[in-house]
């Protein structure tokens, strides 16, 4: 089902909150969190756009039981418009696949960039949130996607490699893109208490070696239901509304809804795309 322009505008006016969901390493549950957060926000009545920016490993569509029809590359090559590339995947949730197109953005002309921005501007008021599911690691594309977002949410687990790689991601974003504020989601923890200890650990490390401000968004305990639904490519928020992981994800969605420390200097959805296209 292709995207169709709705008559409803974002509940928060003309500005879409742009959040990246990032991680230092793979396997921390980033896409699972992105998809379930989108469903939780949508259930609150918010309109959500997901940008699947994990090139070559894009699978947000699979989590919702659909297959992407188009991607950004199709837009850049003039095969479809932005509106036609956006796909409805659930009630109040649309998806724009990054495809190989994110690699091609640096190659398009100034005129083409202006045309794309104009199209983006037309859909900018249709969403309350845009969730950017980035690839893990510190590649140039990952760093650029995160630096263009208003709020960078870093997913970490108790795995020492996850802690070290998350620190590395925030350090590079701080040193090269001057990012100073990050939101932390602790995943795959035994309970909320371990999640809070994990946040304190990464916060202490960043306070000691970097000038960063970390915000604790919440913890998602690992439970059997979450593992099973993820393995079968289903959304736990939908299939098991009373599961402890579902409750935790909804609490994080509530935190995001009430979050008032978004970087206003980064503007809105249009700013995100201008940054991405190098015309900001």
pLDDT at site 218: 98
Identify the residue with better confidence: 170 or 123.
170
Say whether domain 17-272 belongs to CATH 3.40.190.170: no
Tell me the pLDDT tens digit for each residue of 101-160: 566 665 667 777 777 777 776 676 689 999 999 988 998 878 888 988 999 999 999 999
pLDDT at site 11: 45
Show me where the domains of the chain are located.
Answer: 17-272
User: From its phi and psi, is residue 178 left (phi > 0), alpha (psi between -120 and 50) or beta?
Assistant: left
pTM assigned to the model? 0.88
Q: What confidence tier does 100 reach under pLDDT thresholds 50, 70, 90?
A: low
Could you please report the per-residue DSSP string of 41-55?
HHHTT--EEEEEE-T
Tell me the pLDDT tens digit for each residue of 35-92: 999 999 999 999 999 988 766 566 888 899 998 888 877 887 788 888 888 999 999 9
Q: Please state the length of the chain.
A: 280
pLDDT at site 10: 42
Percent of the chain with pLDDT over 90: 56
pLDDT at site 35: 96
Quick one: which of 22, 220, 256 has its CA closest to 129?
256
CB 127 within 8 A of CB 47: yes
- Give CA–CA dist 22/129, Å, rounded: 16
pLDDT at site 70: 87
- Pure H helices in 27-126: 30-43, 60-63, 72-76, 82-85, 101-104, 110-123
How far is CA 224 from its chain centroid? 25
Average pLDDT of the segment spanning 224-231? 92
pLDDT at site 9: 34
Judge residue 91's burial from the number of C-beta atoms within 10 Å of its C-beta, 0-12 exposed, 13-18 middle, 19 or more buried. exposed
Average pLDDT of the segment spanning 237-242? 96
- Pure H helices in 159-215: 160-177, 192-209
pLDDT at site 145: 85
Tell me the pLDDT tens digit for each residue of 177-219: 999 999 999 999 999 999 999 999 999 999 999 989 999 999 9
pLDDT at site 280: 55
């Amino acid at each position: 089902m292709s995207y169709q322009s709705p008559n409803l505008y974002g509940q928060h006016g003309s500005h879409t909150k742009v959040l990246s969901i990032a991680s230092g390493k793979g396997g921390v549950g980033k896409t699972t969190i992105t998809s379930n957060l989108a469903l939780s926000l949508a259930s609150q009545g918010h309109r959500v756009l997901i940008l699947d920016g994990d090139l070559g490993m894009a699978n947000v569509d699979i989590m919702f039981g659909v297959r992407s029809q188009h991607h950004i590359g199709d837009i850049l090559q003039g095969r479809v418009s932005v509106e036609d590339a956006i796909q409805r995947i659930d009630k109040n949730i649309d998806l724009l696949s990054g495809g190989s197109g994110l690699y091609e953005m640096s190659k398009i002309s100034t005129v083409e960039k202006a045309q794309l921005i104009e199209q983006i501007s037309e859909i900018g008021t249709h969403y309350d949130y845009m969730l950017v599911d980035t690839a893990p690691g510190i590649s140039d594309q990952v760093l650029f996607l995160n630096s263009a977002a208003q709020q960078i949410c870093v997913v970490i687990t108790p795995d020492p490699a996850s802690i070290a790689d998350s620190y590395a991601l925030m350090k590079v974003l701080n040193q090269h893109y001057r990012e100073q504020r990050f939101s932390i989601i602790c995943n795959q923890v035994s309970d909320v208490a371990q999640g809070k200890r994990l946040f304190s650990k990464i916060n202490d490390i960043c306070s000691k070696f970097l000038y960063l401000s970390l915000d604790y968004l919440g913890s998602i305990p690992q439970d059997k239901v979450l593992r099973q639904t993820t393995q079968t490519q289903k959304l736990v928020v939908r299939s098991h509304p009373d599961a402890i992981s579902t409750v935790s994800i909804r609490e994080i969605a509530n935190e995001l809804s009430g979050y008032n420390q978004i970087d206003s200097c980064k503007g809105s959805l249009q700013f995100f795309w201008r940054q991405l296209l190098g015309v900001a």
